[in-house]
Structure 1
Amino acid sequence: MLLSLPSVKFTKILAGSLSKFPSKNISISILPKYFHLTQVMSGEATKKLRDFGYAFNKEGKLRKVNPATGKPGDEPFQFDVFPDYAQNQRHYEELANCIPDIVYELLEQNGMYRVHTPENIPKEQATFIFTSQQKLDKPKKLMVLIHGSGYVRAGQWARSLIINNSLDHGTVLPYIKKARELGYDIVITNTNDNYRLSEDGAMKVIPGHNTPITHAATVWEKYVMASNPESVAIVAHSYGGSVTLALAKQFEQFFKHKVFAVALTDSAHFSGGQAAVRNLRPITRNFVSSDKPLGTVIKSPSDDLPQVSAGHTKHEWTSYSAMSAVFEFIEQRYEEFLISAKSKTEL
């Protein structure tokens, strides 16, 4: 059985201004377990992973393949397999390169659609995102998931957690399940996928996607805004916070009218400027790494976004550990959004 977070109770609700927290306790449901793991992963990346002697078991944990059975056994990933550290690191990186395609396959198996962008160039030259509908059309509630920087791609929060803990811990799949239960359509960005290898062997920039921020802006304009959603929530990890602030600056009016909640997990935000921070502050919580219980208010600078504890001390764990509180915050913000919209129509 995969690790599940215990039920927690907030003494302060993570919505509205920090001074408006009610005193009553609010129950938060446990983190949902991974789903559809019984489906067979048979892609090329899975075969390559087996070449390294590993496979994911039915609980989404990476395990050494038992030579006698050909199935995942009980031994977890082992980093130290060579006497030389550099060789071990190279082995780790080569194995980790299998992870993106495995996660892409799982996203599609679990009902997400791969959408190539830009649409006017051959697919092999384009990047892609994932959406819950083949073509989003006026979603009532839309959730946009934005990962961090580095090697992670669409569907991943932290590849180290995927390798050393489970797919539950390191991917967005539990977020997809919970979001669907709450009636959200979903967009999953792929902000670090910016280049393709050309026929002459050179790295070629993907038009409109040359950086994480330009990728996000293109996706936001052509898929989020173009779908004409009634309301939008964002969950962003690490550098995804900086990407979010850049979006808030570029699409200020859309954010003002449609974006009702921004949940950041240990965000590194330094794009967008103070105007974007001021605009986002009432609708944002940054769930930061901390040794305090989940949801504990953390003192933050007056010119920064409000912070609360993610319930874990390690950066890469924050999206997983804070998930129940993230959804509690988003749903409370949605209720406030509906009340505000109703009051405006009655004026």
Structure 2
Amino acid sequence: MKPSNLLIAIAAGAASALLFVGLVVQSGSAVTLALAAPIPIFIASLGWGSVAGFLAAVVSAGLVAAISGLVSGGVLLFAAMSLPAAIAGHLAGLARPVAEDGPAERGPGPVGERPQLMWFPVERILFAIAAMAALACIGLGWYFGYDVAALKPEIVDTLRESGNAGQIDDAEFEAIATLLLSLIPLVQPAVLTLVLGLGLYLAAWLTRISDRLPRPKDDLPTALHLPPAALFVFAAGLAASFVSGPVEQIALVACGAFGMAFTLVGLGQLHARTRGRSNRGLLLFVSYAAIMILSFPLFVFTCLGIYDTIKRMRPASPA
């Protein structure tokens, strides 16, 4: 490994740790910065190689543990963001010659140019991100001892202190706490999938500006799909969510992660289908504004992403 790549990896790991450490020490204003923690890892992996990305992931976790004095903080960053970012960055850099069994096809240009390469498909990268988000949430839930019965009284006490206890009775606090706890296994992996997906996109954009990204630019609206396996995982999660106990929690985690992945595919379809329309800007603005204000339209794009996956599973009709 070149010394310059080593320095880049250490710097990326330190940047990621500094972005995330505020969340570990319970600084409420640091949540937004913590969501950007995977981006330096992505940049190191995309621009300076997979080894730099994995080294940056280890450095970031070690620094968080050292700064905060909490090993659990380093574990949280490593499992939830640093390692998935390093793996996704590695996958984005994988490529092979188009022709494997014969002379490699070459693109236009003088002889001696590198052969045309087939890069790791975007749909498989998105699948990997959703799977890693789900596994990270399940693993961290086990590591930190996620227990609904133990957490419910703490949430009720917090709601009492923050709310107007004179107007809301204990039964309503209990109902709100139950609702929040039921949403955590669904929302947490969905947010993590979104954070990792957007982080990879932003890191690729920044790395391409510096002319260090070897991968050509993907046309995301047309390339953003999911393989059929994602549909089977999502369907199995929905079916298992009706079973009570830990199985339900794990199933909801899978539904949250892959549900967000399908939502991203649906949004990609929106961008692809509105191309060439004179009112495209207005349609995109209204769609994203509705998502930000109401949240419910996300379900529409989730269904659109699922439909896209089912449609691609059908055999092509003969010409």
TM over 0.5: no
Normalized per residue, which structure has more strand? 1
Give the TM-score taking structure 2 as reference length. Answer: 0.26
Give the TM-score taking structure 1 as reference length. Answer: 0.25
Larger CA Rg, structure 1 vs 2? 2
